[in-house]
């Protein structure tokens, strides 16, 4: 979606730059996304930031005194990036792993050892499942 249309859709003109979204953003606290700057940047047509550092916790939207759906805006920015093929490698890895195994987390060998030491059951390693999932996800993407 084009930036001007985005500003209109999310009513960014209502933003008063109070920075409440940023003060409540866990990502901004650690040098990540700065939601009030995203809003301002999109509104002024100069946003060049990185929407992938957002945790999608929606706190920004919940605290905004003007009712701006900041997290929804960030989601659209991400979708735009993804459509242009700009997906960070780590997300691509998670998605690839999910397609193969149905699991979003890679289970390293060290986890198996820790589980054995703790007396926990062996994790399922059914090799027929990844193939099925991969076929299903390819079908879903057609
Ligand atoms: S909380 Fe709302 S009004 Fe305040 S800076 Fe963020 S988007 Fe703008
Ligand atoms: S949804 Fe993203 S931008 Fe909003 S508060 Fe959470 S991490 Fe920050």
Q: Which parts of the chain fold into alpha helices (H)?
A: 3-9, 20-23, 35-43, 59-63, 70-83, 89-101, 109-117, 128-141
Using one digit for the tens of pLDDT, what is the confidence trace for 65-101? Answer: 999 999 999 999 999 998 888 888 888 877 877 777 7
Q: What is the pLDDT of residues 103-123, one digit of tens each?
A: 766 666 677 888 889 998 887
pTM of the model: 0.74
User: What's the rounded Cα separation, in Å, for the pair 77 and 37?
Assistant: 13
So what's the pLDDT on residue 1?
66
Query: Which tokens sit at 23?
Result: 């003060």
Query: Of 27, 38, 77, 78, which is best to mutate to test ligand 2, by the most ligand atoms within 8 angstroms of its C-beta?
Result: 27
Is any atom of ligand 2 closer than 6 Å to the C-beta of 36? no
Q: Name the residue with the closest Cα to ligand 1, atom 2.
A: 64
pLDDT of residue 32: 95
Residues 6+ apart with CB under 8 A from 74: 33, 35, 38, 51, 54, 56
Location of each CATH 1.10.1060.10 domain in the chain: 3-83
- Residue 52 DSSP symbol: G
At the second CATH level, the architecture of 3-83 is Orthogonal Bundle (1.10)
């Amino acid at each position: 979606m084009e930036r001007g249309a985005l500003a209109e859709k999310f009513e960014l003109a209502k933003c008063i730059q109070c920075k409440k979204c940023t003060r409540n953003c866990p990502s901004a606290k650690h040098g990540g996304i700065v939601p009030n700057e995203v809003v301002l940047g999109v509104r002024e047509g100069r946003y060049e930031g990185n929407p992938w550092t957002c945790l999608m916790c929606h706190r920004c939207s919940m605290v905004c005194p003007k009712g701006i759906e900041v997290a929804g805006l960030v989601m659209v920015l991400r979708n735009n990036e993804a459509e242009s093929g700009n997906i960070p490698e780590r997300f691509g890895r998670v998605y690839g792993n999910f397609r193969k195994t149905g699991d979003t987390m890679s289970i390293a060998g060290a986890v198996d050892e820790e589980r054995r030491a703790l007396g926990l059951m062996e994790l399922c390693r059914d090799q027929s499942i990844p193939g099925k999932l991969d076929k299903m996800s390819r079908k879903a993407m057609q």
